[in-house]
Chains A and B, each alone.
Chain A
Amino acid sequence: MLYALKIATRYLTASKAQTALLVLGVAVGVFIFIFMSALIGGLAEFILSRTVGDISHITIEAEDPDPAILIAPEGQLLSVIEKGRARAAILSDAATFIPLIEAVPGVKAVSPQITGAGFMMRGSLVSQVTVKGVEPGRESAILNLDSYLTQGSARVGSGLVVLGERLADDLTLRLGQTVRLQSSAGVSTVLTLSGIYKTGNGMMDGSSIFVSLSTARTLFSLPQGVTRIEIKLTDLNAADDTALRIRALTGLDAVPWTDGAEQLMEALNAQAQTGYFLKSFALITIVIGVASALLLSTYRRRPEIGIMRAMGAGRGFVIFVFVTQGALVGLMGGLVGAGLGYLALLPFPSREAFRSGTLPMDITQGSYGLAITLTVIGAILASILPARAAARVDPVTAIGQ
């Protein structure tokens, strides 16, 4: 079939302007396909990084033990006085599991924490807060505290606290000033403000405070263990699979971020579906363009097809010539379109540098190979109809034209 390839190539090069226009048309379709892929993929990446990028991708929390069942002896009344119990359930073997979890592929960071509720008081000002006790040095393991810091340091040493800008305003706190914190366990301590952050999330900035793990132990009367382990992954889309692995490895109830994020997933899926539609339309445009151009070519070359048939060229040969033209147009258009798409995406910031106000185009999600493959397949399919029309040309009629 080398000879059919030669004829197909000759036909394409014989009408350079027409072929160039056809290739350009296909390239534009591929360009749109790639541009849409990069935009939809980048947008999904952007939304995910903004919504779940700073939260734990997998969380392990201690489960509350089931209460004891007390059965009163026959004929007697059992009176139970429940002691006030603010003590949270703990993961007592956390220290054993953390190295195991850190060794799981795809795990980027692990943060053992003691969390709980409390009140922050300064003079007559009181705010309810969520206390996060983290290991010094792991403050930015989950929420990138360093990147959100507006004043001071993110380090949470003994007796230090890092809190949000809104909370600092509420309590009229400045860096270096002290504040009293009382935990839900009734323990209170005085802390020095060492850092102020601003994430842009009002809830977070107004109520979350970070202290050292040792401070939290004191506040919540937990001499050992932790209440929660937060895990960050290199690929947040791998959370479901990784959570399963951690569960199998440790026996702990590892919960991926996707649990309870159905609405977000639905929104992302809807966005992806929109992208598929747009890309499909681009492909359909390519197919129609190639088919119409080749049909015109078939009509124009009817006498030549008749001659070829008279000289002994079978129908299969004629079909191959025209399908090869379609494939070549698809390949050239695909390569040109992919090249143009790549060049057009180069000026956009990389996915790590997405920022508000710019199109979150992700050059790595251009689906270049897929675009070229689908274009070639589409162009081949588009050329089948013209090719069959060419193969049906009656040599007697065609030669007489």
Chain B
Amino acid sequence: MSALLQVSDLVKTYGTGGAATHVLRGLSLELVAGEMAALLGPSGSGKSTLLTILGTLMQPTSGRYSMLGQDLVVADEADLTTFRNLHIGFVFQFHNLLPDFTALENVIFPTAVREGRETASARARGRDLLTRMGLADRINFPSANLSGGQKQRVAVARALMNQPELVLADEPTGNLDRESAAQVMELIAEINRDEGTTFLISTHDEKIAALCRRQIVVGDGVVTG
């Protein structure tokens, strides 16, 4: 299997001088296409910072990061925005849907923002994804009226809208009840298996981590296991 992304000697420091906080201290990591990996570690170990950098939402202080052969440390902001839109999906702990939009409108946002309009094909794919997530009867529901589990499934559908190679999930079940959490993880596993989408899931939950084929443990700013 080929490497989807490679990170080496990644350093992230917040602040300067005596107030400097070293969150990542030379972290190196490689993810293979099609992997479903859990990112484990105590609070403050650097998991969220790593996901943020991998998601191109933040630049490292130093180190190298490339994905799909593209050096993402030297890329400018516009290129990173386009890259993120095309190749990376996000699932956040608190779903983070656009509250004034319907479930379908939330799902097709990544495609619509790139194409400048909501195309028929985007709507069709959005409906398919929501149906697959078990939300066929909630397609045109205002997202604010959905339950927590439903919102998170909409967020998963949105992350998959542009068929990204990588989905970064930061505690995707952290805010859900046990049943909804199981549903969401089942869907993630199914998509990983059927479509080969790579998932990197940050979690504190050992059971969630156990559902992943690989566990990456981060501690004190480096990969420890």
Question: Chain A interface (Cβ within 8 Å of chain B)?
Answer: 1-4, 6, 10-11, 14, 303-304, 306-315, 317, 395-396, 399
Contact of A312 with B118 at beta-carbon distance under 8 Å, contacts A10-B101, A14-B100, A399-B92 already known: no
- On whether the beta carbons of A311 and B92 are closer than 8 Å, the reply is no
Nearest CB in chain B: distance from A323 CB, A: 16
Chain B 84-105 interface mask (CB, 8 Å, partner A; 1/0): 1110001010001111110000
B58 at the interface (CB under 8 A from A): yes
B110 at the interface (CB under 8 A from A): yes
- On whether the beta carbons of A312 and B90 are closer than 8 Å, the reply is no
Residues of B within 8 A of A307 (CB): 96-98
Q: How far is the CA of A313 from the CA of B115 in the complex (A)?
A: 11
Q: Which of B43-86 contact A (CB under 8 A)?
A: 52, 55, 57-58, 77-78, 81-82, 84-86
- On whether the beta carbons of B113 and A313 are closer than 8 Å, the reply is yes
Q: How far is the CA of A10 from the CA of B92 in the complex (A)?
A: 24
Contact of A310 with B55 at beta-carbon distance under 8 Å, contacts A1-B116, A2-B116, A6-B118 already known: yes
Residues of A within 8 A of B81 (CB): 309, 312-314
18 A-B residue pairings within 8 Å (CB atoms): A1-B116, A2-B116, A3-B112, A3-B116, A303-B96, A304-B99, A306-B96, A307-B98, A309-B81, A311-B84, A311-B109, A311-B110, A312-B113, A314-B78, A314-B81, A315-B77, A396-B58, A399-B96
Among A4, A304, A310, the residue within 8 A (CB) of B90 is A310
Contact of A3 with B96 at beta-carbon distance under 8 Å, contacts A310-B90, A395-B57 already known: no
Interface of A is mostly: helix
- On whether the beta carbons of B100 and A311 are closer than 8 Å, the reply is no
* Most chain A CB inside 10 Å of its own CB: which residue of B58, B81, B114: B81
Question: Chain B interface (Cβ within 8 Å of chain A)?
Answer: 52, 55, 57-58, 77-78, 81-82, 84-86, 90, 92, 96-101, 109-110, 112-118, 158, 162
Q: How far is the CA of A397 from the CA of B193 in the complex (A)?
A: 33
Nearest CB in chain A: distance from B126 CB, A: 13
* Most chain B CB inside 10 Å of its own CB: which residue of A11, A309, A311: A311
- On whether the beta carbons of B92 and A2 are closer than 8 Å, the reply is no
Q: How far is the CA of A317 from the CA of B57 in the complex (A)?
A: 17
Task: Considering the complex, give the chain B residue whose CB is closest to the CB of A307.
Answer: B96
- On whether the beta carbons of B85 and A3 are closer than 8 Å, the reply is no
Task: Considering the complex, give the chain B residue whose CB is closest to the CB of A6.
Answer: B118
Q: How far is the CA of A309 from the CA of B57 in the complex (A)?
A: 9
Task: Considering the complex, give the chain B residue whose CB is closest to the CB of A400.
Answer: B48
Task: Considering the complex, give the chain A residue whose CB is closest to the CB of B55.
Answer: A310
Among B52, B85, B116, the residue within 8 A (CB) of A312 is B85
Q: How far is the CA of A309 from the CA of B52 in the complex (A)?
A: 13
Residues of A within 8 A of B99 (CB): 304
- On whether the beta carbons of A312 and B110 are closer than 8 Å, the reply is yes
Residues of B within 8 A of A310 (CB): 55, 57, 84, 90
Contact of A396 with B109 at beta-carbon distance under 8 Å, contacts A1-B116, A304-B98 already known: no
Nearest CB in chain B: distance from A328 CB, A: 15
Q: How far is the CA of A205 from the CA of B114 in the complex (A)?
A: 79
Q: How far is the CA of A315 from the CA of B77 in the complex (A)?
A: 9
Given contacts A3-B118, A312-B84, 9 further A-B contacts (CB under 8 A): A3-B116, A4-B116, A303-B96, A304-B98, A306-B96, A308-B98, A309-B81, A315-B77, A317-B113
Q: How far is the CA of A396 from the CA of B90 in the complex (A)?
A: 12
- On whether the beta carbons of A11 and B84 are closer than 8 Å, the reply is no
Residues of A within 8 A of B97 (CB): 307
Residues of A within 8 A of B116 (CB): 1-4
Task: Considering the complex, give the chain A residue whose CB is closest to the CB of B87.
Answer: A312
Residues of B within 8 A of A313 (CB): 81, 113
Residues of B within 8 A of A11 (CB): 100
* Most chain B CB inside 10 Å of its own CB: which residue of A1, A11, A399: A399
Closest A-B pairs by Cβ, 8 of them: A312-B85, A14-B100, A2-B117, A311-B110, A313-B113, A307-B96, A314-B81, A3-B112
Residues of A within 8 A of B162 (CB): 312
Nearest CB in chain B: distance from A105 CB, A: 51
- On whether the beta carbons of B100 and A10 are closer than 8 Å, the reply is yes
Q: How far is the CA of A315 from the CA of B80 in the complex (A)?
A: 12
Nearest CB in chain A: distance from B151 CB, A: 13
